[in-house]
């Protein structure tokens, strides 16, 4: 169970804070405030339909960054299957799997641009969402701005 003021990753909203735990009709609820949004979410404590996890540690964030070169991209050729698989990975929030998505989409999009082909809007949206979720978490953990983390990632990926 999370405690008030815990920083977590809430599946669709990313890095969030547990603002309070309330009881309503005999059931406990987390009151969650995503850090970069102007909304508040309530979800039952123990809700297995929603993915919530503790934010990564500084050590885990640094390990993830140092491991970028070894992380294999995850490319799914079929557009519909790719979208389904990627959204499920984003919902679960595993940072290594999100890196696999980012690497695959960046590589494929660069290839498409070289061929003067359009990037599907679904791929663009997936890449934007994956980067936002991952970079937001890392920026919170390492106390850097999103742009600093984005630049750090770009430099690291270019070297490898």
82 and 24 in a single domain? The answer is no
What does the pLDDT read at residue 70?
A: 87
148 and 94 in a single domain? The answer is yes
What does the pLDDT read at residue 150?
A: 87
What does the pLDDT read at residue 55?
A: 96
CA distance 130 to 92: 12
What does the pLDDT read at residue 159?
A: 54
* Residues of the chain under the 50 pLDDT cut: 160
Tokens of 67: 């491991």
100 and 127 in a single domain? The answer is yes
88 and 128 in a single domain? The answer is yes
What does the pLDDT read at residue 155?
A: 73
Whether residue 64 is contained in a domain is answered as yes
Whether residue 2 is contained in a domain is answered as no
**Sequence-separated contacts (24+) of 24-30 with Cβ below 8 Å:** 30/2
Domain C-terminal end among 36, 54, 72: 54
49 and 77 in a single domain? The answer is no
119 and 40 in a single domain? The answer is no
39 and 107 in a single domain? The answer is no
What does the pLDDT read at residue 160?
A: 47
Whether residue 1 is contained in a domain is answered as no
What does the pLDDT read at residue 153?
A: 79
61 exposure class (CB count in 10 Å sphere: 0-12, 13-18, 19+): buried
pLDDT digit string (tens) for 18-29? 999 999 999 999
Number of domains in the chain: 2
CA distance 11 to 43: 12
28 and 99 in a single domain? The answer is no
Q: What CATH number did the domain enclosing 79 receive?
A: 1.20.58.1290
37 and 90 in a single domain? The answer is no
What does the pLDDT read at residue 45?
A: 95
Range of the domain at 84: 58-159
Sorted by sequence, the CB contacts under 8 Å of residue 127 that are 6+ apart come out as 101, 102, 105, 106, 109
36 and 102 in a single domain? The answer is no
């Amino acid at each position: 169970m999370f405690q008030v003021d815990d920083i977590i990753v809430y599946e669709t909203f990313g890095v969030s804070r547990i603002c309070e735990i309330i009881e309503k009709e005999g059931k406990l609820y987390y009151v969650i405030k995503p850090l970069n949004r102007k909304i508040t979410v309530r979800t039952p404590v123990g809700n297995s339909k929603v993915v919530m996890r503790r934010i990564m540690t500084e050590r885990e964030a640094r390990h993830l960054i140092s491991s970028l070169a070894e992380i294999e991209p995850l490319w799914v050729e079929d557009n519909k299957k790719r979208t389904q698989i990627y959204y499920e990975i984003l919902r679960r929030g595993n940072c290594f799997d999100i890196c696999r998505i980012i690497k695959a989409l960046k590589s494929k999009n660069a290839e498409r641009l070289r061929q003067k082909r359009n990037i599907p809007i679904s791929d663009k949206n997936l890449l934007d969402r994956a980067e936002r979720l991952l970079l937001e978490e890392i920026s919170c953990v390492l106390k850097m701005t999103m742009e600093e983390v984005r630049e750090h990632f770009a430099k690291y990926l270019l070297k490898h």
